[in-house]
Structure 1
Amino acid sequence: MFSMGKKRFSVGVALTFLALVHVSFSVPFIVLHGILADCSYDSNGNFAELLRNLSGSPGSCVEVGNGMCDSWVMPLTKQVEIVCEKVKQMEELRQGYNIVGRSQGNLVARGLIEFCDDGPPVYNYISLAGPHAGIYSIPWCTYGEWCNAVNKLIQKDLYTDFVQDHLAPSGYYKITSDMSKYLESCKYLPKLNNEIQSQRNSTYKDRFTSLHNLVLVMFQEDTVIVPKESSWFGFYPDGTKPNLTPLPPPLSAQQTSLYTEDWIGLKTLDVAGKLQFVSVPGKHVEMATPDIIKYVVPLLQNKASSVQRLNRKTKEPLRP
């Protein structure tokens, strides 16, 4: 009888231990894809699967609208609204989750963190080649007579309501020679980066600084994000004229007003040791598996049991 009771006790302890192990390593993640892509596209579906296999954590690619087409023509504000509603309906994310963003998907990711009211908390956010400070020119086309002509044509109507409402990249295309026009008429990035002094929202900063970890990955051979330092919140100085050759070196994040005046909390995260600036070899979002294992996977293995989850409005602890 004693032996039977001891055996049951041992089984109970083992089951409890296994349950705790499951809970402590079950923080899910989502992947947000870039422009001209969708979740069924091999590089995104396989990437989410790769992260699941390497981390042992559950995760999936979350689609924006109908995918490839909407990623190009749907304004980013609308994309964020769609993804916000999706994550709030995903039961597995209710207690919190991690985000891995790819290219333009990072601007959706940050919108999700800053703008999504009553959404589940985001713990760790890994940004792969995100155009966080904007883009200076269309991808692969910064220099040359033809590129100059194309960029001038785009810039002519870039900040009109029609273009802003029908072309996603227009929401983060920054004409540095006309910053007043950018701040006045660009409908997404100035709000996301809290750049407009009269409209700064402390809630966006509070939500962004609630992250436990932020990893900004820049790709050394990136010619899609121009300048590539935008992946680190760096950009050309205000006043830089379009199609200038040679271009001045981009400002580092730490040299920008966004950082020094801490508009969204980037400096706060940095000072707290929660921010990593990572540079890896490779072209746009072409990340080698060893680098994924080194910089991405550890943050997807975050222990939920060690995290105190708080309601975003009341700041009271959440219950499982």
Structure 2
Amino acid sequence: MKALSKGYNIVGLSQGNLIGRGVVEFCDGGPPVKNFISLGGPHAGTASVPLCGSGIFCILADDLIKSEIYSDYVQAHLAPSGYLKFPNDIPHYLEKCRFLPKLNNEIPEKRNTTYKERFSSLHNLVLIMSENDKVLIPKETSWFGYYPDGAFKPIVPVRQTKLYTEDWIGLKALDEAGRVHFVNVSGGHLGISKSDLKRIIVPFLVDEASVKSIVMPGCLDFHAQSHKITIGNK
């Protein structure tokens, strides 16, 4: 990828943030990622099936999916199952969930220092949380905050989580170096005004003219054009 050889930025939207982090942590020999801007990312997981609703069908579907969420079939066929984390079923989550436990280096006997080294090499990590986000449960997952193991309350702030204090992925190192930016905006999931976009996001994309940007909003399709890659929803 010669066009990205000098490095590039990632802008992640919702679950696209986890794909972007996977690129940073898992890919060998790729060009460096400079700035990672995350809008509404379920970084610590989510405790509810996303994008359904509160109707009776959604309630029934939610209950059905929850009962089988860590089965091999659901893990292989439902993308959000890879980052659903029910605090009252942590042992099952760590054993059967195929994606997030690896991404967050949560499994003690399988922790990979390379993931930590790669993630902590970012120049800037911008974590944007929407104040009225009703899709991510809890919304603080956008900042790596989450529920304690075994309970749905209280919400544990990011700097009190084990992921941070034991620095499983290098988040603490980044933060102590002044390279993590926690941003709170008004609005719902992925809601951000043009003025906030220009004020918060654009400065991290224009600092270096030679650095390209990659937008990761969805999860399925890759389209490459003029050195910009968009992952879109179907």
User: Which residue of structure 2 lines up, in the alignment, with residue 229 of structure 1?
Assistant: 140
| 2:103 aligned residue (170, 188, 192) | 192
> In the alignment, does 2:29 pair up with 1:124?
no
> In the alignment, does 2:113 pair up with 1:202?
yes
C-alpha distance in structure 1 between counterparts of 2:38 and 2:118, whole Å: 16
Shift in Å, 1:143? 7.0
8 Å contact 1:140–1:223 — kept in the other structure?
no
User: Which residue of structure 2 lines up, in the alignment, with residue 165 of structure 1?
Assistant: 76
C-alpha distance in structure 2 between counterparts of 1:295 and 1:109, whole Å: 19
> In the alignment, does 2:156 pair up with 1:156?
no
User: Which residue of structure 2 lines up, in the alignment, with residue 65 of structure 1?
Assistant: none
**Other structure's SS at 2:122 match:** coil
Shift in Å, 1:139? 2.8
User: Which residue of structure 2 lines up, in the alignment, with residue 211 of structure 1?
Assistant: 122
TM-score with structure 2 length normalisation?
A: 0.85
Amino acid of the residue matched to residue 151 of structure 1? D
**Paired residues, number:** 211
Shift in Å, 1:149? 3.8
> In the alignment, does 2:163 pair up with 1:258?
yes
C-alpha distance in structure 2 between counterparts of 1:205 and 1:151, whole Å: 33
> In the alignment, does 2:143 pair up with 1:238?
no
| 1:283 aligned residue (180, 188, 195) | 188
8 Å contact 1:139–1:223 — kept in the other structure?
no
C-alpha distance in structure 1 between counterparts of 2:93 and 2:21, whole Å: 20
User: Which residue of structure 2 lines up, in the alignment, with residue 138 of structure 1?
Assistant: 49
8 Å contact 2:50–2:80 — kept in the other structure?
no
C-alpha distance in structure 2 between counterparts of 1:180 and 1:100, whole Å: 32
Amino acid of the residue matched to residue 135 of structure 1? T
C-alpha distance in structure 2 between counterparts of 1:228 and 1:142, whole Å: 16
Q: Which has the higher helix share?
A: 1
8 Å contact 1:133–1:231 — kept in the other structure?
yes
User: Which residue of structure 1 lines up, in the alignment, with residue 230 of structure 2?
Assistant: none
**Other structure's SS at 2:35 match:** strand
> In the alignment, does 2:203 pair up with 1:298?
yes
C-alpha distance in structure 1 between counterparts of 2:149 and 2:113, whole Å: 24
User: Which residue of structure 1 lines up, in the alignment, with residue 14 of structure 2?
Assistant: 103
TM-score with structure 1 length normalisation?
A: 0.63
8 Å contact 2:130–2:187 — kept in the other structure?
yes
Shift in Å, 1:140? 5.6
Q: Which of structure 1's runs of 4+ aligned residues deviate more than 4 A?
A: 140-148
Deviations 1:188-207, CA, capped at 9 Å, x for gaps: 00000000000000000000
**Other structure's SS at 2:169 match:** coil
8 Å contact 1:216–1:232 — kept in the other structure?
yes
Structure 1: segments with no counterpart, 5+ residues: 1-88, 241-246, 306-320
Shift in Å, 1:290? 1.1
**Other structure's SS at 1:126 match:** strand
Q: Which has the higher contact order (CA 8 A, sep 6+)?
A: 2
Structure 2: segments with no counterpart, 5+ residues: 211-234
- 137-146 vs 189-198, greater mean Cα deviation: 137-146
Deviations 1:100-122, CA, capped at 9 Å, x for gaps: 00001000000000001111000
Shift in Å, 1:213? 0.4
**Other structure's SS at 1:204 match:** helix
User: Computing the radius of gyration over CA atoms, which structure comes out larger, 1 or 2?
Assistant: 1
Shift in Å, 1:141? 6.0
Q: Which has the higher strand share?
A: 2
C-alpha distance in structure 2 between counterparts of 1:300 and 1:140, whole Å: 29
Shift in Å, 1:147? 5.3
